[in-house]
Structure 1
Amino acid sequence: MSPFARSFAPRACALLLLLLAGCAAPSLQGTGGTPSRLQGDASHPGQAQNWVRTELYFATGPADDLKKGVDEAGWRAFLDREISTRFASGLSVFDIYGQWQDQGAPAPERLRSKVVVLLHESNAANDAKIEQIRSAWKAATGDLSVLRVTQPADVSF
């Protein structure tokens, strides 16, 4: 047996065992006849129809200058005032690094950013709330845009 085969075989067996163990792991989704503890009210349906996942991307300042832009306290105040009040049943926030190159600019802007993920019913009222949030951020920061991505979502709590 070659030295490569001797070193590869144990790793391949270990990987196979890990994969097989994952197949036997219990589901964490509350399926299989065991309902989730949160099911039973409108904001935590067992299975949702006509729900979407909306991601909102907020630039908070230059990546290389932490003194410019919106600091963490300013972001948290905006989140509490503008987003959490409109989507009180829950959301997720991620810190990210992003880039944006304006048309005609010689190089992209490198930005600290936040992504807010909302899972919600697809309806005019929620669309209006999202547009209010985007408008509030642009008014507060002078930014020209808040990227919005909305996709269908299968939701179960």
Structure 2
Amino acid sequence: MPKRLLLVALFVAVAGCASPPPASVHTHNPSSSTLQGDASRPAQAQWIRTELYFSVGSIDGKDGAVSPARWREFLDQEVTSRFPDGFSVLDAYGQWRDKGAKEPERLSTKVIVILHENSAKNGANIEAIRLAYKRITGDLSVLRLSQPAEVSF
């Protein structure tokens, strides 16, 4: 009898591990490749893809490097607070040459990609993020690229 009880307990434990994820996140029978019925992300909205390019220091790690902890703090305080629905951060290499310089400046770079509705509020939030980073780091600029985007969730 104890052996049978042990087998039943083992079966219940294993069966619990195989339960499907919450329906709000995943589906096993999609009727469409897009998320349906999400009123907070209307299909008819005019969407913008904005990329922001941030120098986090020279590639040799010497001058003015922004630590990973400081970068996360910036994301939490300045970006997530303005775009809580999400964004992506990419690691990149960048370089540019100032007028009259013989060599380009080679930079470790972070790129934030934000997909957002085209609104004055979102535009102001983007500019606030750029200004905050310039104030924090003393950088002269944060490159912004914005273009229309066809978005589907």
TM-score normalised by structure 1 residue count: 0.73
C-alpha distance 37-153 of structure 1, shift in aligned 2 (>3 A): closer
C-alpha distance 39-55 of structure 1, shift in aligned 2 (>3 A): farther
> Does the 8 Å CA contact 1:60/1:70 hold for their aligned counterparts?
yes
In 2, Cα distance between equivalents of 1:121 and 1:33: 25
In 1, Cα distance between equivalents of 2:81 and 2:123: 15
Larger radius of gyration: 2
**Residue type of the alignment partner of 1:36:** T
**Cα distance, 1:49 vs structure 2:** 2.8
In 2, Cα distance between equivalents of 1:134 and 1:150: 13
Aligned pairs for 1:113-152 within 5 A: 113-152=109-148
Where does the alignment leave 5 or more consecutive residues of structure 1 unmatched?
1-31
Answering whether residue 106 of structure 2 is matched by residue 106 of structure 1, we say no
Aligned pairs for 1:65-104 within 5 A: 65=61, 68-104=64-100
Q: Which residue of 2 aligns with 1:50?
A: 46
C-alpha distance 37-135 of structure 1, shift in aligned 2 (>3 A): same
SS of the counterpart of 2:48?
Answer: strand
**Residue type of the alignment partner of 1:106:** K
C-alpha distance 64-110 of structure 1, shift in aligned 2 (>3 A): same
In 1, Cα distance between equivalents of 2:49 and 2:134: 22
Q: Which residue of 1 aligns with 2:32?
A: 34
Q: Which residue of 2 aligns with 1:23?
A: none
Tell me which stretches of 4 or more aligned residues in structure 1 moved more than 3 Å: 35-39
In 2, Cα distance between equivalents of 1:109 and 1:39: 48
C-alpha distance 132-67 of structure 1, shift in aligned 2 (>3 A): same
**Cα distance, 1:64 vs structure 2:** 1.2
> Does the 8 Å CA contact 1:48/1:156 hold for their aligned counterparts?
no
Q: CA-to-partner distance for each residue in 1:78-118, whole Å, 9 max, x for gaps? A: 01100010000010000001002111111110000100000
C-alpha distance 87-70 of structure 1, shift in aligned 2 (>3 A): same
Task: Please give the root-mean-square deviation of Cα atoms over the aligned residues, in Å.
Answer: 1.9
In 2, Cα distance between equivalents of 1:91 and 1:55: 10
Q: CA-to-partner distance for each residue in 1:11-59, whole Å, 9 max, x for gaps? A: xxxxxxxxxxxxxxxxxxxxx95263464231x33x2431110000000
